[in-house]
Amino acid sequence: MGTLSIINARVVTMNARAHGATNDAQSGARHGAAMNELGVIENGHVCMRDGVITSVAPGHPASLVGEVIDAAGRVCMPALIDCHTHLCFAGDRWSEWERLRAGESYESILAAGGGIMSTVRATRQATLDVLTQALGDRLRALVNLGVGSVEVKSGYGLDWQSELKMLNAIGEAAKNTPQLVVATCLGGHAIPADNAAWPEQFAAHIAQLARQFPGVAVDAFCERSALSVQQCREIFAQAKKCNVPRRLHTDQFNSMGGVAMAIELGATTVDHLEAADESSMTAVATSKTIAVLLPCSVYALGGSYARGRSLIDQGAAVAVASNANPGSAPTIDLRFALHLAVRHCGLSTSEALTAATWNAACALGIETKVGSLHAGKRADAIVLEERDERALTHGFAGPPPRHIVLAGKLISYRH
């Protein structure tokens, strides 16, 4: 892979301390006020060798060998991490967009067999090769936006063979991208009309999932139009028994007790939270579970944004993700999600950057590999066009990064 150095940069390390921070010193997601810690080095360098960061420090490196990027004062920071996406799918939902604009609700479309179920039908019919190719195309588009790590969910199969097909497609696509790809099995996404017993069947398959796809988390959607709290509890209880990480979509439209259940059963994240009541907000804020905000869904569907400011002020650890999917968040731009998180969820720019780097890495369990610029970590970094990191959340869709380095390889170079 060779050697690469980024010099003369405003280095936003995302370390707890700008100099000498260790992974042990910053273990776990950052909560509350700690989310403002960016570990900025005003004029520094990042050196990499064979895909690994070797040095992050002020000034120039002692020697320069190999490829050199002169940032000329621009921001160098960790590559972004999108910790919640639904990028593996077939078909489209363009007609749903018109129905939403005509006044139908997302839940009513889902109840009528559209929404998620429309994508389920198309994804079931698609071959493994078709899903793999489509996902690969989307991942390449994310690279150009500076996303170095991305979570991709299954969940548009809703029968065991189709869910396995999706997980295999994610695995195949991951082999052909420079990004770090993390798969999640969203078997509890919805209840198909042709099989009311699917949630229980999915729970029964989790032991097999753990053997076949070690480390892959399970996920479910706790909503009136999806799975009940009890159905999600059964899935989570089986996952906990099998030592499988747990994540939950919850409180998007209704607060039903999903947050409390997820925290009780040790969920890594609770995602959405637009409709979370006060007791749910407090439960998240006083737990180790990470709140993942998905503001692009609210932008697309309407409604109230998650109260990110209140969560952080109460001490929560917050991440932000695109929720990229063909229906309720038809975008792949994590930067737009960060803009919305600042504009509508009340986060500061520093909190938003933490939410899309360090805390996002913690949400996926990959914080020892990525999420900060630290010697020994995977060499994923971006150099912004701008000289101030606040630019990243200011624009609706600003220019892509000037330079993108993934696993120590220069992927994109703009003069």
Query: Which domains are present in the chain?
Result: 3-79+370-413 (2.30.40.10), 81-364 (3.20.20.140)
Helix, strand, or coil (residue 285): helix
Look at strands 403-406 and 409-413 and give their pairing: antiparallel
Helix, strand, or coil (residue 45): strand
Amino acid at 157: G
Look at strands 290-293 and 269-272 and give their pairing: parallel
H/E run at residue 219 = strand 217-222
Which residues fall within 8 angstroms of residue 67, CB to CB, at 6 or more apart? 2, 3, 4, 5, 410
Predicted TM-score (pTM) of this structure = 0.96
The CA distance from 391 to 147, in Å, is 16
pLDDT at residue 62, as a whole number: 84
Q: Is the separation of the CB atoms in 119 and 90 below 8 Å?
A: yes
Mean pLDDT in consecutive groups of 10 residues from the start of the chain, 415 residues: 93 76 65 97 98 97 91 99 99 87 86 87 98 98 97 98 99 98 98 96 98 98 97 99 99 98 99 99 98 98 97 99 96 97 98 99 98 98 97 87 97 64
Q: Is the separation of the CB atoms in 170 and 152 below 8 Å?
A: yes
- Comparing CA positions, the residue from 312, 377, 366 lying closest to residue 36 is 312
Which residues fall within 8 angstroms of residue 148, CB to CB, at 6 or more apart? 78, 79, 80, 81, 178, 179, 180, 370, 380, 382, 404, 406
pLDDT at residue 414, as a whole number: 56
Q: Measured between alpha carbons, how far apart are the two ends of the chain, in Å? A: 23
pLDDT at residue 71, as a whole number: 98
Token pair belonging to 339? 């803009």
